[in-house]
Amino acid sequence: MWEKIKFWGKWPFGTLRSKLVFSFLLIVLAGGLASTIIGTEMVGNTIIAEAQKKVRHDLVSAWMIYNEKLNRIQDILNLTAKRDLIIRGVMAGQADLLQQELERVRIDYGLDVLTVVDRKGIVIARTRPPYQAGDFQGNDELVRRALKKEVVTSTEIIPQEELAKEGPELVRQAYLEFVETPKAKSRPESKETSGMMLKAAVPILDINGNVLGGLYGGTLLNRNYEIVDKIKDVVYRGELYKGKETGTATIFQWDLRISTNVKNQSGLRAIGTRVSRDVYDQVLENGRSWVDRAFVVNDWYITAYEPIRNLRGEIIGILYVGTLEEPYNDLRRNVIYSFFGIAFLGLVVVLFLAYFITRSITRPIDNLMKATEGIAGGDFSHEVPVESGDEVGHLAASFNRMVRTLRSTMEELHVLNTKLQDLNRHYLEMVGFITHELNQPMGVLKGFLIMLHDGSLGPLTTSKQKQAVDTMLRNVNALINMIQKYLQLGRIESGRMEINKAWIPIFEEGLTPVLEDEKQQLEARRMEVILENEESFRRAEAEADPVLLRIVFSNLIGNAVKYGKEGGKIWIGFREDAEELLFYVKNEGGGIPPDKLNLVFDKFARLEGELERRRRGTGLGLFNAKQIVEKHGGRIWAESEEGKNANFLFTLPRGIKGS
């Protein structure tokens, strides 16, 4: 984007007017966008913060309703324990009388348990079938304190066996099987048999204040929706949003929903589902409140959770309230849309104002722009009239002077270009002539040297003679190689390089002849050639010019021999994929510096090391190879680990045979 802004002429809105308009627009857009983003973020955070603040207040209200229920149970027990009938019944041990009277009280006030014990904690009478009595309840913390004249209330977990004593129906009410819940923490249990109860215990005293016994009772919270529904009605007033209840409340027994108005996907109360892992860790494990967004059964809510503790201060559950997050998200989204809508209207107004203002400024420059386009098209005779004395007039005068200077310069350049073309043609003709004339005598000279070397013209009698012949043959080979490279350069630069493509086996027609030609040099330098992926290499075919392909392999392998480590290895390999064939020649040696990897393919490129300076070369081999590979539609590049190896790789298009 910035590149487009920098190079105006290459950009669709290239006029000065467009640039000015766009600049104004960009400034307003950047400022408006920044303020919009910051504003919407602040508003969004404020909305969520207010929602969290509200849910904290909602939790306080929920605790008031919860504690009100506890206090009501305590008041019922307190008043009942002070009735003369109950006091006399305890003093006389009249179990039947106590059972009948207390059962009526339990039913009238909606309690689940109402039981009387003597001063030793032995149960005198229960108010639910089978009306079990005679068991000891003095170990119960609330009963124990009541027998010490304390009035106590608490939320307690009642084991299944204790519920069974109070009544089998309470066992069935408390029993819950776990329902699989997304994001819940795993537990080994699959069901809950104990119950959570709002429980109170009060002493029964005689007229002198002596303890005659105790009265305890309570309401089982499992599947009891009185408190949670009252919280929903009082705090959230039963409001709906898109068919969903905006506010919900839940009482958890540990992490299990035992009383809730949160609905599952079937529209039923989500009894048996469990709290999310994050809430579990913070509230149940660490005893801290949670006020944040949370996933509740099947939707996101802004929630508040606080631990429920028993009389001993142990965490046994959670009280939860939550308000649906969706209304706040929609509100935040609407605010964002409003911000962007206002910003868009502002941009439209700015665009119109900027257009009309800049139009009056840029009209005198239109002629200059058209004249510039004429210059770009090669018309150097076009000049513009100078119509004013302001900056635009000075610009027009300068433009006219520039046109006259350019016209004169272009005439001179035309003459120079003609001369350079003549020089280049003569240069190419000379290179072609010299290399062509040298090629034949060098070939003859090489042939006689080979015959001397092989003893065809008679044996060489001394080691010095053999050494001299070897040296001459090596130098003649180097000269022939140089001549071939200059011949190829001449063809490339003159545009006369012909590519005669045919489907050929690469290994047989491209690589094998080169390896035969380089055999003597490889032996002289004691270098080992390793063919990698040879079987696939031998099967590889491509549409290529075999002569030019041999030149590529010759240059790469010749370089590997020349610059590789004496006595080292040269790896020649092949890989393929669906798009192309890849070939590489890798040698052990000094390698190539990273900053030179791309330069080695330049014409007359030579590395600057001491070893490279001692080894003669034209600097044309890799240049020629690059031109040939690219003419075939391939790529060539170098890789190297400096001080270890150098690897030259090139590709050819895979193609389809017969297409």
Phi, psi of 132, rounded to the nearest 5 degrees: -65, 140
Query: What's the pLDDT score for residue 243?
Result: 72
- % of the chain beyond a pLDDT of 90: 41
Q: Is the pLDDT of residue 339 over 70?
A: no
- pLDDT for the residue 332: 72
Kindly report which listed range (4-13, 32-41, 177-186, 258-267) carries the lowest average pLDDT score.
4-13
SS3 call for 421: helix
Residue with structure tokens 């003569």? 426
SS (H, E, C) 65-92: HHHHHHHHHHHHHHHHHCCHHHHHHHHH
Q: Which residue has the tokens 């240049």?
A: 623
Task: Please count the helices (runs of H) and the strands (runs of E) in the chain.
Answer: 19, 21
pLDDT number for residue 485: 54
Domains of the chain: 1-363 (3.30.450.220), 498-653 (3.30.565.10)
Q: CA-to-CA distance for 3 and 19, rounded, in angstroms?
A: 14
- What pLDDT sits at residue 246? 79
Asked if residue 521 has pLDDT above 60, the reply is yes
The one-letter amino acid at 445: L
pTM: 0.51
Q: Give the C-alpha separation, 21 to 14, whole Å.
A: 11
Element of type H or E holding 649: strand 645-653
Find tokens 């690219």 and name the residue. Answer: 630
CA 533 – CA 572 distance, rounded (Å): 9
Does the pLDDT value for residue 157 go beyond 60?
yes
Backbone angles phi, psi at 70, to 5 degrees: -60, -45
Percent of residues in the chain assigned helix, strand, coil, to nearest 5: 55, 20, 25
Q: State residue 445's pLDDT score.
A: 73
Tell whether omega for the bond before 505 is within 30 degrees of 0, i.e. cis: no
pLDDT band per the 50, 70, 90 thresholds, residue 425: low
**Tokens, residue 13:** 């809105």
- Region 179-195 average pLDDT: 90
- Cβ(110)–Cβ(240) under 8 Å? no
Q: What pLDDT band is residue 294 in, cutting at 50, 70 and 90?
A: confident
Is the predicted pLDDT of residue 16 greater than 70, yes or no?
no
Residues 6+ apart with CB under 8 A from 505: 538, 539, 540, 541
Q: In the numeric block, which tokens belong to residue 441?
A: 């005598």
Distance CA 178, CA 180 (A): 6
Confidence (pLDDT) at 154:
96
> In 3D, which of 203, 188, 194 has the Cα closest to residue 157?
194
**pLDDT at position 420:** 67
Q: What dihedral do alpha carbons 89, 93, 97, 100 form, nearest 10°? A: 100
Query: And the tokens for 278?
Result: 């994050």
Length of the chain: 659
Complete DSSP assignment for 250-308: EEEETTEEEEE--B-TTSSB-TT-B-BHHHIIIIIIT---EEEEEEETTEEEEEEEEEE
CB atoms within 10 A of CB 627: 22
Question: What's residue 215's pLDDT?
Answer: 96
Among 83-92, 152-161, 420-429, 473-482, the minimum mean pLDDT is found in 420-429
d(CA 358, CA 13): 14
Name the residue with higher pLDDT: 53 or 49: 53
Q: What is the pLDDT of residue 426?
A: 54
pLDDT of amino acid 421: 61
Angle at 315 between CA 314 and CA 316, to 5 degrees: 110
The pLDDT of residue 10 is above 50? no
CA of residue 169 relative to chain centroid, distance? 55
The whole-number pLDDT of residue 377 equals 65
Averaged pLDDT, 483-491? 58
Residue-averaged pLDDT of the chain: 81
Angle in degrees, 0-180, between the axes of helices 84-92 and 95-108, rounded to the nearest 10: 150
pLDDT at 369: 67
How do residues 601-612 score in pLDDT, each as one tens digit?
A: 887 666 655 444
* CA–centroid distance for 534 within its chain: 42
Ordered DSSP codes for 7-56: -GGGSSS-SHHHHHHHHHHHHHHHHHHHHHHHHHHHHHHHHHHHHHHHHH
Burial class, 540, CB count within 10 angstroms (exposed 0-12 / middle 13-18 / buried 19+): buried
What is the pLDDT, as a whole number, of residue 82?
93
Q: What is the pLDDT of residues 440-480, one digit of tens each?
A: 676 667 677 777 767 777 787 787 777 777 677 666 665 66
- 232, with CB counted inside 10 A (0-12, 13-18, 19+), is buried
pLDDT at 196 over 80: yes
pLDDT of residue 474: 63
CA–CA dist 499, 491 (Å, integer): 11
Lowest mean pLDDT among 404-418, 498-512, 546-560: 404-418
- Percent of the chain surpassing pLDDT 70: 75
- Who has greater pLDDT, 427 or 632? 632
**Most distant CA atoms of the chain, gap in Å:** 149
More confident residue, 173 or 615: 173
Q: 401 - beta bridge partners?
A: none
Query: Whole-angstrom Cα distance, residue 459 to residue 173?
Result: 117
